[in-house]
A and B are shown apart, each in its own frame.
Chain A
Amino acid sequence: MNPGEPKRTVVLQGLGVSPGIAIGVAHLIRRVDAPISRYQLEDKSLVADEIRRLRKALKDSENQLLEIKRKFKDQEGLETLYILDVHIMILKDKMLIRQTIQNIEDKGVNAEWALRMTLDKYRDVFSKVDDEYLRERISDVEYAGQRILRNLAGVHHETVSGIGDNAIIIARDLSPADTMQMKVEKIQGFATDMGGKTSHTTIVARAYEIPAVVGIEKITTEAKTGDIVIVDGTAGAVIVNPDPEIIRRYELKKRHYETIEDSLLKHARKTATTLDKHRVLIGANIEFTEEIASAVHHGTDGIGLYRTEFIYINRDRLPTEEEHFCTYKKIVESKGIRFSTIRTFDLGGDKFISDPRLAAEMNPVMGLRAIRFCLREVDLFKVQLRAILRASAYGKTKVLFPMISGMEELLETKRIFNEVKKELKRDGIPYGKDVKIGIMMEVPSAALIAEDLAKEVDFFSIGTNDLIQYTLAIDRVNERVSYLYEPLHPAVLKLIRQVVEAGHKAGIEVAMCGEMAGEPVYTMVLLGLGLDELSMNALVIPRIKKVIRAVTVKECRKLVDRIMSFNMASEIEFFVRETMRRKFTDDFEVAN
């Protein structure tokens, strides 16, 4: 790969064993597992030498563990120290030693191979155990065994050192001896190939409340030291080399995760109804089906935005219709949600097709992506649409098309959608009778002709992230211009109001699924503008509900009327923040 070329984003799923979001730099802990070869001892006199080598390696291993134990006995809890004692006991285990020596003598093989045979025997025995906790104790045998093998290979140095402050630890598996040598409290997250609910990495991560995903199988082959890595311990996902947009999204998630207060959960179970009895629908933005339970727990009415991107990223081949279908079905039939809004493909083609003509666009946010890409690659688009429609037979489904900029695109999209419907009908494949279709309102041109577009769809969903950056012509991942990213810019507010009014005039619902919808400080403004549904990161729902339940639509409209008379974004921002701070004294910081 060329140095200038962006690294490929890889999404891997495992078992999320310690919740939370971590964003950091990968630090790969590579075990120097020398490949073990089998040597036949040609001369019987060599048997004694091999046994001597084995005994020395056992002794060395024991001394190393005793040394680690001595060094850390003042700093760590007794629990981890005890595990080291267990490992020492394994090194001295008479059955392990007897069996290994017997292998050397009877089979005439080298010590490494003889030990491997012993370890494999134990692996076999342990794998048949029903109890999960006991079954995973094979990892303790392996930790000890690997140490002996390293000593037999003459590798003495420990590999755990030089870990930076922002590190995500990536490893096949972590032993207690490994974690004891880390400043665990400084580590951001863990991601390992192996492990389960009771493995050592899990126990340590939970104890220190560090996000962790284990059992990922191939994280050590996909991540290199220095890569940016996101660990989502709640969804059980790890993203290697995320693009700036994904990083931003996860930074927000992380912040929500860290500021969530249990006391707010009492608002979660109530509806988002204002004091003057106006109900707003609340949606959750998700990207993994594993997030649905948390969304319901935090009080969502439905899934307001399911981003389908991760179905496509990081694959050797395109996802099949069945793969799409299984995911969508899981979403729409989830308990506790009233609707599921599935957004179709919203990426540039370069993300998953290695066609050099598609790669490296000068200006990817304005390039061949989302609906534009789908209308060019119709077959690919149809696979997704078929799957969504098939899933719609199992629960209330809404389909959301991203990046529509004009009427031609919308009509062409609808034509293809109806064609897929007809094909399903012809083939006798069931689909939902009342599937709503809607479009993202994120391109200014679409917002300006919203009145016409509204006649062709069942709902709008305003994507503020893109709407703001397209309207204000700023690249929001470019730090030099990011100060211009202003959600309350009068031009943005006017566009939002225009979209809401056009929608309501045509009798359709208008939702908002951008980051703005999940910012409590903007909630009154959005209510005043007349949004019917707000969709956001699940964790922030209780906070938003708290605001909605404490205000009237009447006062929100008054606020909007007032700020619409201002002509500077900074003025509006200040006024809104001051209003929120006065009304909710404890919840908002002083405007500056």
Chain B
Amino acid sequence: MIVQKTLTIKNELGLHARSAAMIVRVLERYRSSVYLERDGNQVDARSLLDILTLACPKDSRIVVRADGDDAREAVNSIAKLVDDKFGEAA
């Protein structure tokens, strides 16, 4: 099963080390392959470094794509992090 969702980064600092680390960590719970894509560049969402190289500042749009039996849950978990601004103070 392939699940895909477009998200807008809302936290002030963008996808920086801390937020990227949260994505990597949350994915430890799932088996699906998960990718992030921005402006045609696709990276493995389980690699902190690759997420950083996407260089997503605030307001940038990314596509989350997962392939596997728990794809929906994986995508939703990332969407929740993004929507919660990764716990950054408002």
Interface residues of A (CB under 8 A from B): 82-83, 85-86, 89-90, 93-96, 122, 125-126, 129-131, 133-135, 137, 140-141
Contacts and interface: CB of A to CB of B under 8 A. Distances in A.
B55 A96 contact: no
Contact of A131 (B18, B21, B44, B57): B57
Nearest to A122: B49
Contacts of B24: 89
Contacts of B49: 90, 93, 95-96, 122, 141
Interface in B36-87: 43-44, 46-50, 52-53, 55-57
Contacts of A141: 49, 52
Given A85-B21, A126-B52, A137-B52, A131 B47 contact: no
Contact of A82 (B18, B48, B50, B52): B18
A232 to B, nearest CB: 29
Given A126-B53, A131-B57, A134-B16, 15 more contacts: A82-B18, A85-B21, A86-B17, A86-B48, A89-B21, A89-B48, A90-B49, A93-B47, A93-B49, A94-B44, A96-B47, A122-B53, A131-B55, A135-B55, A140-B17
Nearest to B13: A133
24 contacts: A83-B17, A86-B48, A89-B48, A90-B48, A93-B49, A93-B50, A94-B44, A94-B46, A95-B44, A95-B50, A96-B47, A122-B53, A130-B57, A131-B55, A133-B14, A133-B16, A134-B15, A134-B57, A137-B16, A137-B17, A137-B52, A140-B17, A141-B49, A141-B52
A122 B47 CA distance: 13
A95 B14 contact: no
Closest 9 pairs between A and B when the two form their complex, measured CB to CB: A95-B47, A129-B55, A131-B57, A86-B17, A125-B53, A89-B48, A93-B49, A95-B50, A134-B55
Q: Which of B17, B18, B50 is most buried by chain A, counting CB atoms within 10 A of its CB?
A: B17
Nearest to A124: B53
Contacts of B53: 122, 125-126
Contacts of A130: 55, 57
Nearest to B53: A125
B86 to A, nearest CB: 12
Contacts of A90: 48-49
A140 B44 CA distance: 19
Nearest to A144: B49
A141 B47 CA distance: 13
Contacts of B14: 131, 133-134
Interface in B1-18: 13-18
B23 to A, nearest CB: 11
Contacts of B13: 133
B26 to A, nearest CB: 12
A164 B55 CA distance: 40
A133 B56 CA distance: 11
A135 B52 CA distance: 9
Contacts of B16: 133-134, 137
Contacts of A86: 17-18, 21, 48
A134 B9 CA distance: 14
A94 B48 CA distance: 9
A590 B16 CA distance: 55
A137 to B, nearest CB: 5
A89 B56 CA distance: 19
A126 B50 CA distance: 10
Contacts of A93: 47-50
Contacts of B47: 93-96
Contacts of A135: 55
A404 to B, nearest CB: 57
Contact of B52 (A83, A85, A94, A134): A134
Q: Which of B13, B18, B47, B56 has the most CB of A within 10 A?
A: B47
B71 to A, nearest CB: 19
B61 to A, nearest CB: 15
A591 B47 CA distance: 68
Contacts of A129: 55
Contacts of A131: 14, 55, 57
A517 B49 CA distance: 57
Nearest to A141: B49
Most interface-central of B15, B18, B43, B48 (chain A CB within 10 A): B48
A90 B53 CA distance: 13
A525 B24 CA distance: 69
A141 B50 CA distance: 11
Nearest to B55: A129
Contacts of B50: 93, 95
Contacts of B21: 82, 85-86, 89
A117 B88 CA distance: 34
Residue picked from B18, B49, B52, B57, most chain A C-beta under 10 Å: B49
Contacts of B18: 82, 86
A516 to B, nearest CB: 48
